[in-house]
Amino acid sequence: MNKSEYKIIFTGPMGAGKTTAIGSISDIPPVQTESFNNDQEVHSKATTTVALDFGQIKMDSEYVVNLYGTPGQERFSYMWDLLADGAMGVIILIDGSRDDAKDQLLNFTKHFAGISSSSPIIIGLGYHSNDVVWDSDTLSRTIYDEGYALPIFTVDVRAKEDVTLMVDTILCLIEAAEE
């Protein structure tokens, strides 16, 4: 194999759209892979498996971008760190029609911004019902006030263009940092 492999991480609470987003841009049907939970401190059953979403963008013979969807529950956050290590970027998905969207956003933002990596972080805000409980301006100000000037985009990850917008932003941020 002579491929250079890269990765992009999709994270966020359960039901936020990780599997859907990966499906929108993956060149292979997204699969669930299992990974052993070997952290007994966190989970008592050593044999518990953790489901990860996995997809791939296969550009040509030379490059592959692996797409990982993290397990949503916070008790698996040790997995988040492993996955995010060396990633090109992290996409946090949040459902803005849920009451707890703001708290979820703060949790995920703090966690991923805290991981010692300089990967760009993009927040994708979807509305899975017609209730706009949290609008992007309010959430953007909320995390800004906490010290995070991160992009928050209103998206529908069922649409490929909305997912590529976030990927493109990751690429642009990498390029802007490179110059």
Partner 1 sequence: MNAGSSNQRLTIALAKPTKTLNDEAHTFDLLDRFIVMCQKKTNYPWEICDVDQASVIIAFEGDNRIEDWHSSGRIIVLVQNSRRPGKHYHFTITNPIRVMHVLDLLNTVGEHLLANPVKITATPTSKPSTVQDSAPGEHWALLSAIKTVFDASSPQTAFAIEANGQPKLWLTAKLSQCKISEDYFNNFSQLMSAKIQSKTLENHNPPESAILINGTELLWRSAIDSTQNAQDRAPWLPGNSIYKLKRWPDLGALRAKANLVRMVSTLAKKYVTPEELTQATGSDNRETMAILNALGACGLIDAKPSERQVSSQTQAKPAAKKPEGFSKMIKSLRRHLNI
Ligand X SMILES: Nc1nc2c(ncn2[C@@H]2O[C@H](COP(=O)(O)OP(=O)(O)O)[C@@H](O)[C@H]2O)c(=O)[nH]1
Assigned token pair, 42: 């966190």
Whether 15 and 30 have beta carbons less than 8 Å apart is answered as no
For tokens 């049907």, the residue is: 29
Q: Binding pattern to partner 1, positions 57-96, x when CB under 8 A? A: x-xx-xx-x--------------------xxx--------
Nearer to ligand X, 100 or 146 (CB): 100
CB closer to Mg ion out of 143 and 166: 166
- The structure tokens 């941020």 sit at 173
Helix (H, G, I), strand (E, B) or coil at 31: strand
Q: Is residue 54 a contact point for Mg ion (CB under 5 A)? A: no
Q: Does 114 bind partner 1 (CB under 8 A)?
A: no
| Residue 32: CB minimum distance to partner 1, A | 23
Distance CA 49, CA 168 (A): 33
Q: Which does 176 bind (CB under 5 to 8 A by kind): partner 1, Mg ion, ligand X, none?
A: partner 1
> Could you say which residues in the range 5-34 bind Mg ion, by CB under 5 A?
19
User: Is 126 among the residues that bind ligand X (CB under 6 A)?
Assistant: yes
Tell me how far, at minimum, the Cβ of 69 lies from partner 1, in Å. Answer: 18
Q: Which of ligand X, partner 1, Mg ion, none binds 117 (CB below 5-8 Å, type-dependent)?
A: partner 1
DSSP annotation string for 107-174: HHHHHHHHSS----EEEEEE-SSS--SS-HHHHHHHHHHTT----EEE--TTSHHHHHHHHHHHHHHH
- In angstroms, rounded to a whole number, what is the distance separating the alpha carbons of residues 11 and 34? 16
For partner 1, the closer of residues 37 and 143 by Cβ is 143
CB nearer to partner 1: give 51 or 54.
Answer: 54
